[in-house]
Amino acid sequence: MPTNEITVEITARNDFWRNAFKVEWEYQFPDRVLVEDGEGHFKASADWLSDLERVAKQCFSTVRLPPESPDRRRLFRRLFPSD
């Protein structure tokens, strides 16, 4: 992964669209691997942000940059569950 790595959160309407995003990303950008962290966040190159947003929009999803602190991320996920 490049040194300009960011963490993004993909928010979708439901699991179907979340999976559709993953499939569409792999189809459009087979050489750009998104690394999932198990908490719904992905590691990606900052250079990919506009492409991530475009593919997310195609799949009725959005891309968000989560708080940097893992503790703050967990707190926000507990307070504002996505599903």
Low-confidence ranges of the chain (pLDDT < 50): 1
- 27: nearest Cα among 2, 67, 59, 50: 59
In this structure, CATH architecture of domain 5-79: 2-Layer Sandwich (3.30)
* Domain boundaries defined on the chain: 5-79
Task: Give Cα 47 distance to the centre of its chain.
Answer: 14
CB 3 within 8 A of CB 44: no
Q: How confident is the model at residue 65, as a pLDDT?
A: 86
Question: What is the C-alpha to C-alpha distance for residues 81 and 63, in angstroms, rounded to an integer?
Answer: 16
pTM given for the model: 0.76
| pLDDT for res 41 | 85
| pLDDT value for 83 | 56
With contact defined as beta carbons under 8 Å apart, do 67 and 73 qualify?
yes
